[in-house]
Structure 1
Amino acid sequence: MHTSPKILVVTDEPMLTVNLLSELEDRGFAVEPMRPGEHRNCSHSGIDAAIFDLHHPDEVSLMFASKLRRSAIPLVTLGGCVPSNSVRIAGARNFLSRPINYDSLAELLCELISQSQTIAPQNVVAFQRPEAMSAEER
């Protein structure tokens, strides 16, 4: 049995949350959605990577992103064309603009998780397309 990598998704856009949840779960990830500001009581244990929608970054989200990054949790930020200096300062080095290419996002997450050695690379199932996975693995 494979352990699904757990991805924290921080966004205040409901449709983006739904899309990320659906697309990432279809690619073998476990997803924990969170709205900005809800992370004050969040334990980041068990999180393999985090996605932040920082199109309009706020200080609290940037501080939380920085805290995760200091804990060696890889970050991917979503937003406009170019990440702001504040996003870079928070430690987000991986940036995707919209519209999101979910295959590219899944590959990036798998690569980052493997590099961070948070989980063993052989346990990452997200490289497999859902149609290539057995019914038990889905």
Structure 2
Amino acid sequence: MRRWKYLQTKEEKLKLKLNTIGGYNDKSESTNNVEKYNLETCTWESMPALPQHLRGMNVALLNESIYVLGGHVHNAAAPLETVYRLDNNGTEWQQVANLLKPRFEANVPVFEDKIYVFGGLSAAGTPLADCECYDAVSNTWTQCADMLEPR
């Protein structure tokens, strides 16, 4: 049975990095800004900007790499299928295999070294029931069984 890992020491907790990625600025425009919060110094640090200004995208952390999946470009109606990965050094965004279906605002858990994408919204803004799974080793997406209800 798999169990949650609880951080025990202050050193373990300080290794955590909190990030803010894309979203909106104070003018209600989507942004490509990426920032990291340093828990030890309580300060923000700039990180490499996303290749696109995105909102409504999905974010996952897999094997110490940050993945940004789908979303919208500012004022565009159609969601994207693009997926970006920030390399382990935190220096460069790389595009990896596209989602099987464009979407935004999905549920994106990570389990056993794979990223799962559950539902989200379509270009029409309707909830999706489909699921897909990303294998970072092979850089491939696989269709999974649909959920019982769209969300």
TM-score by length of 2: 0.24
Which structure is higher in helix share?
A: 1
Which structure is higher in strand share?
A: 2
Q: Which has the higher contact order (CA 8 A, sep 6+)?
A: 1
Larger radius of gyration: 2
